[in-house]
Amino acid sequence: MKFIISSSLLLKSLQAIQGVINASNTLPILDDFLFDLKDSELTITSSDLETTMSVTIKPDKAEEPGSIAVPAKILVETLKTFGEIPVSFTMNESNLNVELSAGDGKYKLAGHKSDEYPKTPALENATSLELNGSVLSNAINKTIFATGNDELRMVLSGVFCELSSDDITFVATDAHKLVRYKRTDAHSEESASFVLPKKPLNILKGVLASQETPVKIEYNRTNAFFTFGNITLVCRLIDGKYPNYDAVIPKDNPNKLTIDRMSLLTSIRRVSIFANQSTHQIRFKISGKELILSAEDIDFAKESKDRLTCNYEGDDLEIGFNSKFLLEMLNNIDTEEVLIEMSAPNRAGILTPVGNENKDEDILMLVMPVMLNK
């Protein structure tokens, strides 16, 4: 196996798929990239058994097809030191040595047998749809922060995707906060739902950022396949039934608070410095056109209070929230103003953007209240 390729093209391709490789693996072979040269095309694969990612590139010159697993870390670190130069790869099949030649330098490393590398799952009985890359990236961005980390409730650690002929909905929750992101400009011919794990979504988010590339999504009962440009990502779906998220969204919320998003964000950030660092509790006291934010930490004798003007319809209300959750939500809304709808101090509050210019986007964020100490 022998080929010559641009060092920057190879490095860029490896960095696109490197995120799949874990810092510590149970199988040593998973520390490697799989190089497969066939029909003058080079396919490079990374895997952690749950997620597999491949990129296909064309070398400047290719001789003798073949495949070998190459240690990922040392290869990437070496390529980072090169400028834009051609790199020659030669593999010795008898001893699995891989030799790199670049400029006046020669570098040798030990490869591993390609047949030990995990096989990419086959695509059987799959259904497909196509999404714009920036739409998918945005959907992941707006929901992934609300996923949980509880290993006993694995379904809550992923993002729930609900496909229908009218729209596509992405939902994430950790039982304390919930985000529902709906796109009416995307739909699927067949209704379906599945839970995507967090790791591959984070990788997709990074690779797809600001790309308008169409993404082909194919899925069956066990796996989801994402294809865009010269990259393919396959991930195992999280098995289990997602909770009925619609049932926890309160429908009747007579108390409506409209406020400037950045003013509220800054005020919460400032007031929460004085909050208890284990509960992050912050108090909202709303009456008339006034919102008073306050926090205290009795153990350290510190407290804070801030006043903001707002538009408010409803009865005077005092309610507690976790400031960390509110900050995450406000940071993931893009509009100048937000609407917070509430009904009672012991019921969830709902945040929605005000004046969203994208009519195809429907975002709803729910945050559970914190019991106030009287």
- Considering only CA atoms, which of 62, 117, 115, 57 is closest in space to residue 91? 62
Domains and CATH numbers, the chain: 2-116 (3.10.150.10), 127-242 (3.10.150.10), 249-367 (3.10.150.10)
For the chain, 374 residues long, the average pLDDT of each consecutive 10-residue run is 94 95 92 94 96 96 92 95 92 90 92 93 87 92 94 92 94 96 90 94 87 89 94 96 94 95 97 94 94 93 95 95 96 96 95 92 96 75
> Are the C-beta atoms of 367 and 321 separated by less than 8 Å?
yes
What per-residue confidence (pLDDT) applies to 362? 95
pTM: 0.91
What per-residue confidence (pLDDT) applies to 62? 92
> Are the C-beta atoms of 244 and 344 separated by less than 8 Å?
no
DSSP 1-37: -EEEEEHHHHHHHHHHHGGGS-SS-SSGGGGEEEEEE
What per-residue confidence (pLDDT) applies to 121? 87
CA dihedral for 22, 46, 118, 67, sign (positive or negative): negative
